[in-house]
Amino acid sequence: MRRRGRKSTASSLPNKVYNQILYLHRLLCSMCVQNNAMKKTHAHICILDSFTTDQGVLDWSALQSLGTVDVYERTGPEEVLSRCAGKTIVITNKVPLDKQTISLLPDCKLICLLSTGTNAVDLEATRQRGIPVCNIPAYSSDSVAELVFAFLLHESRRVDVHAHSVRQGEWTGNQDFCYLKTPQKELRGKVLGLVGFGDIAQSVCRIAKAFGLRVLATTPHPEGKPALGQDFVSRAELLAQSDFVSLHCPLTPETNQLVNEAFLKEMKAGAVLINTGRGGLLDESAVAQALGSGHVASAYLDVLSSEPPAADHPLLNVPNVWITPHIAWATDEARSRLIEILTENVRAWMSGNPQNVVNGL
């Protein structure tokens, strides 16, 4: 006796009901996929060194909306592993994440830098682990360029010296309506040499042209760079002609101690050296000697090879050098922008479309 097969559930239901069930099934599947994705990415986040960015004032609420965030003002070498343990996303500015450390973070799926520079992270180790590393590009270009011009204006006008003399009573007891403590010089017509021509150097160039400076620039790849009134020349030409030499190149094995004795000797006598890039670009002992000899008139440095510097750093007590504590990037606006871009980097990764990835993943 032949059994009659049962009708399928689908065929036994009215079309309208079946379609509704199918729609709900697909919706639930979609929600499960999204939930799994959130489980994968909506996890613990830690910031290893928050204070230089937030200064105890700016908040991380936008980032906290994306997950649970552990915020540490500072992290010592012995604390890195315990604080990163179990974290999906690790955020650092200057706390080093080397190959050994990265190998001991099995849960880490993303590393975000609170900087443009990538020196704090071993990019090859992250590439081998398949961990994307995201940086914060071009967030402080205007801020850094403005400090370059604070240095230039200080060199040419020395407002501090004259304001101090007035506080000391020199003007009230002077027989003339004005007096000069230092030579007063215009920037117009002077030559500014830019070593490197990325975003920051381009911002410097725009300001320089408004001041009437002639701008020379040297870069390994001038092709495709915007025409902002600069003249691309060789490094030797730039050093020989520039009244001010401002460094805007990344720190790489090729540029490490770029400004050495030979570089300094090529500079125009009496020129001014400005470094808002990386401290490692300078052979600091050679710079101290060039300043001492008078061949380099003065130096303005926002960065040093070791930060904070040792008390016996060769440049700290040189009279014709002005050093600021790595503040070029640190305007309120730039630091707020940095947090905004960081949050977008995390959000983009969570959505499966990572941005600002610097290690080729």
Q: Residues 211, 192: contact at Cβ < 8 Å? A: no
Distance CA 297, CA 295 (A): 6
Question: Looking at 42, 158, 162, 326, which residue is catalytic?
Answer: 326
Both structure tokens of 279 = 């401290």
Residue 278 is a catalytic residue: yes
Distance (Å) of CA 299 to CA 52, 68, 105, 232, 278: 25, 45, 42, 23, 14
Question: Looking at 129, 214, 248, 278, which residue is catalytic?
Answer: 278
Residue 124 is a catalytic residue: no
Name which of 196, 205, 291 is nearest 251 in CA terms.
Answer: 196
CA angle 152, 325, 146 (to 5 degrees): 35
Residue 326 is a catalytic residue: yes
DSSP one-letter string for 235-267:
HHHHHHH-SEEEE-----TTTTT-B-HHHHHHS
Partnered with residue 173 across adjacent β-strands are: none
Phi, psi of 266, rounded to the nearest 5 degrees: -75, -15
Question: Looking at 170, 186, 307, 333, which residue is catalytic?
Answer: 307
The residues annotated as belonging to the active site are 278, 307, 326
